[in-house]
Structure 1
Amino acid sequence: MPAFAQPLDLLAIAPHPDDAEISVGGTLLTCHRQGLRVGVLDLTNGEPTPHGSPEIRATETAAATKILQLDWRQNLGLPNRTLEHTLEARRKLATVFRQTRPRIILAPYWEDSHPDHVAATSLIEAARFWSKLTRTDMDGEPFHPPRIFYYFSIHLRIHPQPSFVFDISDAIDEKMASVHCYASQFLTGRVQEFPTALDDIRDRARYWGWSINSKYGEPFASRESVRMSSFASTFDFTPR
């Protein structure tokens, strides 16, 4: 695949299909509405699961992609459950970075109990570095994605402090609709007691929205300082 004529502004890397929807679905749709080019790269197909299959998961992913109005989505084809940061996986992901040339990468938070998520973070960080190499046989021109932010797709009962929270108040219904697309993961074969996993996702977005005096939000962490050139956007304290 040659480099994009129009590079992506925002590329979310998801260990499994549904991770992007759960964690950054509102951010992706909001950025798209603001005129940015947004995409998702799923590292695995997420299968096997108790009520899913590769075909079912692909259908669910296509439906969610349409709701979020993504400009681009692909699957890297790495193995689910045994995702590892190998040199071959690093090469494949670095090549995608050289082709899509994203300005911002969204990656899973670096601490989690799910081995696939931890491996994904390590893989993404290394591939970001490799993407800029010059004397290499990788396809595409050298490119170093300028920024990487980490979204909270965390199974541990921990509460990291985010570097910032993105306001998704105007996209919460579409975010939840995109998560609902994954019936095999959240609905099929489940006893729907309250609160459900879907309730939990919405409630977390409500909490993070409250933390920034808004309705709904999605948190992000950064290992590096976040640049600001104006305080103007922080002056609106009107409750939403």
Structure 2
Amino acid sequence: MISEARVEAAIETIPVPRHIALVRVTHWIIVLSVVGLLVSGIGILVGHPRLYWGETGSLATASLIDLPIPLIIGPSVWYRPYHFFFAWILVLTGLTYMAGSFITHHFRKDLLPAKADLSWNRMLGVALDHLAWKRPDAREAQARQGAASRDAASTYNVVQRLTYLAVVFGLFPAFLWTGLGMSFGMMSVFPILATALGGHQSARTLHFVCVVLLLLFVMVHILMIYLAGFWRTVRAMITGYVPQGGRAR
């Protein structure tokens, strides 16, 4: 006779749906476009590694922040077209993701937190688990909260949901706004884009702050992927499936 342990082991190897095609395709396009933006953005930044506040700024004026990187004059000119190219890919992909998330109910099912999960005790408990590098598997979560729990390890917990919402609907729109605020062409048509931020150079400084926040998110994101099982999580984002009982990022 087949032992119960073998049956359970066989069940755990059955793949279960994890990410819909919309999420997988847009995820990897966004990853590639963000890498392109970072590389080209660094190339632009080394052409003038100083940040200012207000409308104007130059080597002859006082800076808000002097970045500890060497000044290299010239190459930034070549990086700007690439930066705009990847920026529009990111914008179009992001809009596709947002629209598709509502159409496919991905926003409601995977990103919108349940009202019960928004209690301070609940969010603090999940945050402390993350800080302690505790990642309960699906079986443990179901044992504590029931199989119907939205925070089982096979889906996003409340902290992840709030973080993704902040990045998708907060950080990326801020990138777009500050980026357009640096464009003299857009400023000539919509000057409010820059003036609302404090000026052209203020938009550039805030754009840099957005980059720092994105890098912090990416580092934590990769760390959580590692804790959840790096190759299993990456495979899920490629194929859309994870073994039953597998962890999610």
Q: Same fold (TM over 0.5)?
A: no
Rg comparison, structure with higher value: 2
Higher relative contact order (CA 8 A, sep 6+): 2
TM-score range, shorter chain: under 0.3
Larger proportion of strand: 1
- TM-score normalized by the length of structure 1: 0.26
The structure where helix makes up a greater share of residues is 2
